[in-house]
Structures are given as structure tokens and as C-alpha cells.
């Protein structure tokens, strides 16, 4: 049999095995779905089994394409097949049919080279379409057996180049078939500690981050399935761009989010001026927020008077000041310390009343007993007017309320020491830079647990009430009157039955850790991965560190691409405050995206950002020179359309990205859509369209077969980090780069001027 036929036969065996395992899981799942009743534990176990088989099925469905992509032949005669999933043989004592790419036994597939073959004689890449084998690429690694050939710095060169030159689709693909050695090292690093991956554009940072998530979930499954893994990306368009990678690797338990999603209940998507976002991102905001909360703990100029028990009761400033000092001294969050404030104030007021009504007319000791005083305190506590007055001086606050009030009220802002530039409309939508502020406020305010407990008790009471109603219908008996106190409920009804009923009917939480984490501000993740990490502000880092007290993190980024004004220009400044020196820096040096011709242009821009920075080395040339075209300003729209048409013709099914200055985005977008219906423009362009026009900020992390950069000098001028923006823009291309300009070409692009 030819080796092609033999490999096809093996693939067929693998798919048959996959089908049979899938049928088994399907049968079991159906069986479970038919079961009902049982004890609460039994139901919980059933739910666990259900989700186990459902996950298995989802995984097996996900790996249908590219199930097996590699084979290793060892000098000792052994052969291993590598794939997206491990497949055991039908007989338990036989070797596995397929080894998961993440298993230690697969490692040689990514690392073995002719110089250090690690016992591997031949690495074979299998190319497939559906269940059919379409091609085989072999690398002989045993120098004595036949010589290596090809390049020493990449593994699986043919397969790699075919992946890199493939047309883009608007969605990132997994790279599991061609992970390179320097990437593999990072993907398989241990779970603990902070790993910072610094790498130039196109070095595979995003790819590495995603494959690392898949690796960690495979290797530390029990721990991470419970706690979940968070991947934080720069914006929603980017998250959509990467959204297919983990499912194609059969992993779904990861929360993909932007900073704007990190405060449950808020979807912060509003855009704002970079300068405003920068103010919000600086650590000075901490003091402003502290002051804003303290300002809510106000006292009257003199006193307030309320009606208590038919008499006027004066609440003096000094009473409130003392109560406030006691509450502040506790250093508890505002809503938690409120109980102290109220207790202290009530105590002082009760003494005031005692003075009035218990004074001995003969000048002796106060006539009120301790019990009388306690009764007075109870009455004060229950007096709605007193409650209201105290609420005004120490209200229960929510983060949204405090931040909205602060940012929309010039007096509050000034009093808190906030920059007047922050002032905005009261009904303005939340922006991503607001989220760390909301989170910080949530910490400063805390949650009044008595309130929370009361709410939980109330919910349970309602459930019992409902259960009791159901039992009542069943028994055709008594009606009940519920009081506020739970104890009273306990004595009033046969709670054992009703609460047992509630328990039995409580919904078992079937959400994954990722889903539960998304709804819980205080969720602590097992691992946090941050992409485009250079953009995060110091305030945003504080939020993230709270979500990851174990500091088990992978942070990928490029300090030369920083756009945000409070973004990082060095990694020390980010991590020093949290982990001192205990973080690990690794670098990626090879650019897989951008061909050498384009990278030569980018290198000049990089040199202008910082002469000490080295551009990553391109792994290939495209054979096409980047172009620049000077056009009259009035013809910019028409010329952009013409360039888009020309580039579209060049890239076949591939994608064309038009990157424009912020100030021109709307107008050029409008003209483009008129001429090229379906072109993606606006705040969240749909990358599945063949042509997309956006600002550089939106294009962070994305790539296109052809990129047209419009008015580069304006891109530079728009921001103090304009050169970094231009660097990002020119490095988005996988094949072709063009520049349209009506003004002079910026000096950094002089190489294009010929
Ligand atoms: N080992 C690999 N095999 C195949 N393709 C790869 C490999 N590494 C990277 N790529 C491809 O190179 C391109 C760039 O990768 P990626 O987007 O992860 O880079 P990046 O470092 O995050 O870039 P940027 O900083 O510009 O956002 C992607 O299309 C990715 O699929």
C-alpha cells in the first residue's frame, strides 16, 4: 500500500473510533435525560454526569475537522499520531490510537529538529479536508538517515508556510499543527506565577495565549474547570476575531472578555477621548474615589430635627460627627461601616432622650434603667423618621450611583479633587475606563451583609411560602400567615417538610465556571490571560489583580504598540507593585504574519519610536513591494475606493483592511459603503466582510491579506503615541501594504517614496 493510502486508512480508523465513542456518549446522555426523581445528591450526581457527557460530545464534534494532523516516527521503530484530541484504542491494553497535542508525548512534534531530533526519525504533517487526506509533508530529522534539508529555525516548514500564506477569513485559526519551538515553550509553561510574553507584531502572542489556555485546561483540568480561565482582549471586535480558536480546540470553559465587561451588570462600550480615559486610568483616581465616598458621609451645619414619639428630637452635628468618626475608624467599607454609624448615633440619641425624660428632679442619678435605655434605642431604630435622617448622613450606596453622581456634578467632582475634564452628562453611557473605577468603588463601598442576608432570607421565605402553598394544595389543608421573622415561620409551620421541598426543588446551578464568573464581580479565576496587555492602565491592572490573587497569569503584549496614554511602556512598572521581581519575561522574536518587504517599512517606524527596539524577523517574503500613492485631498475618498477595488482583486477570497485616522473614519466609511456595499465600517465592523474600514485603535491584534493605510501623517499627529499607532497599522498586513496620502509622506515612511 502506498504511504498515502496507508495514512488514509489510518485516518479512517480514527474517525470510526471517534464515531463509536460519540455514539456511546450520546447513548449515555440520552439515558441520563430519561432519568428523573431521586435524592438531592442523586440529582446533583446526575447533573454532573449529564454535563460530563454533553462536554465530551461537544469536544468530539469540535474536532471533526483536522482530527489528526501529525505523525512521529522514532528511530526505535515506534510511531505516534498526534491530533486535536486523544483517542484510546478499543482494547485497554493497546497503545492509544491518537495522542492529544497537549500531552507530554506530543512535545517532540513541536520541538524535534535535525540538530536535536530527540529520537525522532521523521515528522510527518498530514493535511486533510473533512475526513479525506489531501497531502503529506515529511521532514527527515535523522541526519545520518538522509539529511534534514529546509530551514533550521522553523519546524514543519512546508506546513507552516502553507498556513501563513493562506487567505484570511476574518476569524483567527488555531495553529496547533505548526506551533514553533519558542511558542511551545510558553504554551507549556507551568501554571504558577506571572509570565510576561513580550513580542513584536505577528509573533503569535495571541495565538500563544489561546493555545496556552487550552494547554492549561487540559493539564490542570480539575482545578481550572472549577475556577475558570479569563482571557482579556482589547475590544469586542477582537474577541469575535479570536472566538473560534478555543472551540476548534474543543475548549469552551474560558471567559473571553474586554475590560468593559468586567463589572457584572454593566456593558461599558462607550468611546471617549483618549485624554479622558487616561485621567481615569491613573492611580490618582484612587484618592478621588476615596474622597467621593467620604463626601457622602456628610453632617449638617448645625443640627436637624425630626419628630420622635410626638416630640421634636434634635440630631446635633456633634452626635453625627462622633458616629462618623467611629465608623471611619473601623476602616471598613462604607456600606459595612454604616452599621457602626447607626449604632453610635442611636446610642447617643438614646442618652439624649434619657436625659430629657429620666432626669431626677431632685438632681440624683438618671432614673432610667438599662432596660429602659435598650427600649429607647429599639424605638429610635424603628422610627422611620430617625432612620431617614441617619440614611441621609450615611446612605447605602452603589458604585454606579457614586460614580455617576461624581462625574456629572461639578461640585462633587471639585470637592473630590477630580479633574474638571471628567465632567459629563448624567445619562452618559459607561466607557471601558469607567469599569476599574466602578470596581474600585465596589471595594470602597463593600456590601452591607445584613442587607444581603435579609434579602437571602426573604428569598428563602418566599420559596418556603411557595412550597407550603404546594404542600397545602396536596394536603388540602391550612392557610398561613407569615411574619417577618424566620423563627416565627419555623414555629408557625411544619418547616421540615416545606424547606426540604424547597431544597429538592432548588435549581442546581448548571452554568460553567466561566459563565458564573461573568456574573460575579468577586470571582477569583484560576488563571488570567491578558492580550494586548500594554494597553491596560494602572487602574485596570488593580482590577485584574483582584480577580487573580494567586497571580497565576500570562500577559502578552508589545510595549512598542502601546496606544493608550496610560498604557505600559515597560513591564517593570506594571508588575513591580504586585509581584516585585517575581515575574518571568519571555520574548518571541519571529514574525509569522508580516512579510519581510512590509516589515522593512515597519522597521523604520519602530526605529523612530525607540532606536533600541529590534523588529521581529519575518519568516517569509511575499514577493510584493509595498506601495505609496500621493493623491489630491479632495480625491481621498475616490482613491480609497479605487485602492480597495484593486487590492480586493489581488487577494482573491482574502481580506482587505483600510486603516484611517479617527477624524476621517466616518466620512471615508460612508463613501466606501456607498461604493462597496457590504464593506464593514463603524464601531464594531464585522470582519467576515471582505473589506473593513477602521481606525488603528480598532485594528489592534487583527490582520488582513492587504492593508491600505490612509493619511499616515494624520495618524501620527492624532495622538502622542501616534508613531506606535502607525507601527500597528503597517504591521497588520499578511501579504500587501499600500499607503494613500495627500500630505507629505511622513519621514518614517520615506522608503516608500520612490
Ligand atoms: N506557529 C504558527 N503557525 C501558523 N501560524 C502562526 C504561528 N504563529 C503565528 N501564526 C499566525 O501569525 C499571525 C499573527 O499571530 P498573532 O496574531 O498571534 O500575533 P501577535 O503577536 O498577537 O500580533 P500583534 O502584536 O500584532 O497583535 C496569525 O495569523 C497567526 O495565526
Q: Is the pLDDT of residue 732 over 90?
A: yes
pLDDT band for position 315 (50/70/90)?
A: very high
Asked if residue 204 belongs to a known ligand binding site, the reply is: yes
Task: Say if CB 345 and CB 315 are below 8 A apart.
Answer: yes
Residue 203 CA, ligand 1 centroid: distance in Å = 5
Q: What is residue 469's predicted lDDT score, i.e. its pLDDT?
A: 57
Asked if residue 147 belongs to a known ligand binding site, the reply is: no
pLDDT per position as a tens digit, 479-536: 334 333 333 333 333 444 555 544 544 555 667 777 888 888 888 899 999 999 999 9
Sequence-distant (6+) residues with CB within 8 A of 307 are 313, 385
Atom in ligand 1 nearest the alpha carbon of residue 701? 27
Phi-psi region of 112 (alpha: psi -120 to 50; beta: other; left: phi over 0): beta
Q: What is residue 165's predicted lDDT score, i.e. its pLDDT?
A: 86
Q: What is residue 450's predicted lDDT score, i.e. its pLDDT?
A: 67
Distances (CA, A) of 556 to 173, 175, 548, 571: 18, 17, 16, 10
Query: Which of 438, 439, 446 minimizes the C-alpha distance to 396?
Result: 446
CB atoms within 10 A of CB 428: 13
Least confident stretch, 268-282, 352-366, 678-692? 352-366
pLDDT band for position 464 (50/70/90)?
A: low
Sequence-distant (6+) residues with CB within 8 A of 134 are 127, 128
List strand residue ranges (DSSP E) for 180-268, in order: 194-199, 229-233, 254-258
pLDDT band for position 360 (50/70/90)?
A: low
Residue 204 burial (CB < 10 Å; 0-12/13-18/19+)? Answer: buried
Residues with CB under 6 A from ligand 1: 160, 163-164, 172-173, 175, 178-180, 183, 199, 201-207, 558, 561, 592-593, 701, 703, 731
Task: Say if CB 658 and CB 692 are below 8 A apart.
Answer: yes
More confident residue, 458 or 673: 673
DSSP bridge partners of 255:
230
Q: Is the pLDDT of residue 748 over 50?
A: yes
Q: Which of 137, 175, 554 to mutate to test the pocket of ligand 1 (most atoms within 8 A of CB)?
A: 175
Asked if residue 206 belongs to a known ligand binding site, the reply is: yes
Mean pLDDT of the chain: 88
pLDDT per position as a tens digit, 59-89: 898 899 999 999 999 999 999 999 999 999 9
pLDDT per position as a tens digit, 397-429: 999 999 999 999 999 999 999 999 999 999 999
Residue 691 CA, ligand 1 centroid: distance in Å = 20
Q: What is residue 467's predicted lDDT score, i.e. its pLDDT?
A: 59
Q: Which of 593, 605, 730, 733 to mutate to test the pocket of ligand 1 (most atoms within 8 A of CB)?
A: 593
The sign of the CA dihedral 678, 681, 684, 690 is positive
Asked if residue 247 belongs to a known ligand binding site, the reply is: no
CA distance linking residue 165 with residue 143, whole number of Å:
29
- Unique residue bearing C-alpha cell 507601527: 727
DSSP bridge partners of 98:
87
CB atoms within 10 A of CB 92: 6
Residue 210 CA, ligand 1 centroid: distance in Å = 11
- Unique residue bearing C-alpha cell 464515531: 19
Amino acid at each position: 500500500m502506498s504511504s498515502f493510502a496507508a495514512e488514509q486508512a489510518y485516518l479512517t480508523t480514527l474517525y470510526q473510533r471517534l464515531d463509536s465513542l460519540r455514539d456511546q456518549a450520546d447513548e449515555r446522555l440520552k439515558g441520563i435525560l430519561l432519568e428523573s426523581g431521586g435524592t438531592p445528591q442523586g440529582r446533583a450526581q446526575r447533573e454532573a454526569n449529564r454535563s460530563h457527557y454533553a462536554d465530551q460530545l461537544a469536544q468530539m464534534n469540535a474536532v471533526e475537522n483536522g482530527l489528526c494532523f501529525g505523525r512521529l516516527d522514532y528511530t526505535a521503530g515506534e510511531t505516534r499520531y498526534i491530533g486535536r484530541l486523544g483517542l484510546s484504542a478499543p482494547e485497554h491494553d493497546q497503545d492509544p490510537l491518537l495522542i492529544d497535542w497537549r500531552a507530554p508525548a506530543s512535545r517532540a512534534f513541536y520541538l524535534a529538529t535535525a540538530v536535536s531530533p530527540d529520537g525522532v526519525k521523521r515528522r510527518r504533517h498530514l493535511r486533510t479536508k473533512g475526513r479525506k487526506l489531501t497531502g503529506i509533508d515529511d521532514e527527515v530529522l535523522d541526519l545520518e538517515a538522509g539529511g534534514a534539508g529546509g530551514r533550521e529555525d522553523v519546524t514543519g516548514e512546508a506546513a507552516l508556510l502553507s498556513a501563513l500564506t493562506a487567505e484570511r477569513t476574518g476569524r483567527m485559526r488555531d495553529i496547533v499543527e505548526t506551533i514553533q519551538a519558542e511558542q511551545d515553550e510558553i504554551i507549556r509553561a507551568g501554571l504558577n506565577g506571572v509570565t510576561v510574553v513580550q513580542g513584536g507584531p505577528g509573533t503569535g502572542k495571541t495565538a500563544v495565549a489561546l493555545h496556552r489556555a487550552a494547554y492549561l485546561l487540559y493539564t490542570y483540568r480539575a482545578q481550572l474547570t472549577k475556577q475558570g480561565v479569563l482571557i482579556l482582549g482589547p475590544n469586542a471586535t477582537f474577541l469575535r476575531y479570536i472566538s473560534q480558536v478555543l472551540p476548534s480546540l474543543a475548549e469552551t470553559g474560558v471567559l473571553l472578555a474586554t475590560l468593559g465587561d468586567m463589572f457584572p451588570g454593566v456593558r461599558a462600550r462607550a468611546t471617549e477621548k483618549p485624554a479622558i480615559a487616561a485621567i481615569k486610568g491613573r492611580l490618582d483616581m484612587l484618592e478621588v474615589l476615596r474622597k467621593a465616598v467620604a463626601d457622602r458621609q456628610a453632617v449638617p451645619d448645625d443640627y436637624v430635627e425630626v419628630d420622635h414619639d410626638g416630640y421634636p428630637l434634635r440630631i446635633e452635628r456633634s452626635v453625627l460627627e462622633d458616629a462618623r468618626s467611629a465608623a471611619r475608624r473601623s476602616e471598613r467599607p462604607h456600606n459595612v461601616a454604616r452599621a457602626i454609624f447607626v449604632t453610635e448615633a442611636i446610642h447617643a440619641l438614646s442618652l439624649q432622650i434619657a436625659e430629657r425624660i429620666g432626669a431626677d428632679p431632685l438632681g440624683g442619678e438618671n432614673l432610667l434603667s438599662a432596660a429602659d435605655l435598650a427600649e429607647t434605642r429599639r424605638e429610635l431604630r424603628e422610627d422611620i423618621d430617625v432612620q431617614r435622617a441617619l440614611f441621609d448622613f450615611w446612605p447605602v450606596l452603589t458604585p454606579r450611583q457614586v460614580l455617576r453622581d461624581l462625574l456629572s456634578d461639578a461640585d462633587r467632582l471639585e470637592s473630590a479633587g477630580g479633574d474638571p475634564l471628567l465632567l459629563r452628562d448624567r445619562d452618559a453611557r459607561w466607557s471601558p475606563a469607567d469599569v476599574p473605577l466602578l470596581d474600585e468603588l465596589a471595594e470602597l463601598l463593600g456590601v452591607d451583609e445584613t442587607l444581603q442576608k435579609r434579602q437571602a432570607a426573604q428569598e428563602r421565605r418566599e420559596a418556603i411560602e411557595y412550597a407550603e402553598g404546594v404542600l397545602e394544595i396536596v394536603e388540602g389543608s391550612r392557610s398561613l400567615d407569615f411574619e417577618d421573622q424566620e423563627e416565627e415561620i419555623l414555629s408557625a409551620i411544619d418547616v421540615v417538610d416545606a424547606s426540604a421541598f424547597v431544597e429538592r426543588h432548588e435549581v442546581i446551578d448548571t452554568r460553567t465556571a466561566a459563565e458564573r464568573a461573568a456574573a460575579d464581580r468577586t470571582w477569583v479565576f484560576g488563571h488570567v490571560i491578558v492580550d494586548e496587555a500594554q494597553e491596560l492602565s494602572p487602574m485596570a491592572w488593580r482590577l485584574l489583580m483582584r480577580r487573580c490573587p494567586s497571580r497565576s497569569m500570562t500577559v502578552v503584549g508589545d510595549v512598542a504598540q502601546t496606544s493608550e496614554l496610560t498604557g505600559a511602556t515597560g513591564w517593570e512598572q506594571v508588575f513591580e507593585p504586585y509581584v516585585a521581581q517575581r515575574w518571568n519575561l519571555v520574548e518571541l522574536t519571529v514574525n509569522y504574519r508580516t512579510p519581510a518587504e512590509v516589515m522593512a517599512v515597519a522597521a523604520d517606524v519602530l526605529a523612530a519610536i525607540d532606536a533600541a527596539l529590534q523588529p521581529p524577523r519575518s519568516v517569509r517574503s511575499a514577493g510584493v513591494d509595498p506601495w505609496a500613492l500621493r493623491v489630491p485631498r479632495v480625491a481621498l475618498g475616490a482613491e480609497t475606493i479605487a485602492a480597495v477595488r484593486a487590492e480586493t482583486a489581488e487577494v482573491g477570497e482574502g481580506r482587505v483592511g483600510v486603516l484611517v485616522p479617527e477624524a476621517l473614519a466616518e466620512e471615508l466609511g460612508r463613501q466606501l459603503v456607498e461604493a462597496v456595499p457590504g464593506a464593514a465600517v463603524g464601531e464594531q465592523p464585522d470582519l467576515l466582510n471582505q473589506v473593513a474600514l477602521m481606525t488603528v485603535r480598532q485594528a489592534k491584534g487583527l490582520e488582513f491579506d492587504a492593508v491600505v493605510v490612509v493619511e499616515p501623517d494624520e495618524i501620527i499627529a492624532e495622538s502622542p503615541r501616534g508613531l506606535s499607532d502607525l507601527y500597528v497599522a503597517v504591521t497588520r498586513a499578511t501579504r500587501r501594504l499600500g499607503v494613500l496620502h495627500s500630505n507629505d509622506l511622513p519621514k518614517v515612511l520615506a522608503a516608500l517614496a520612490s
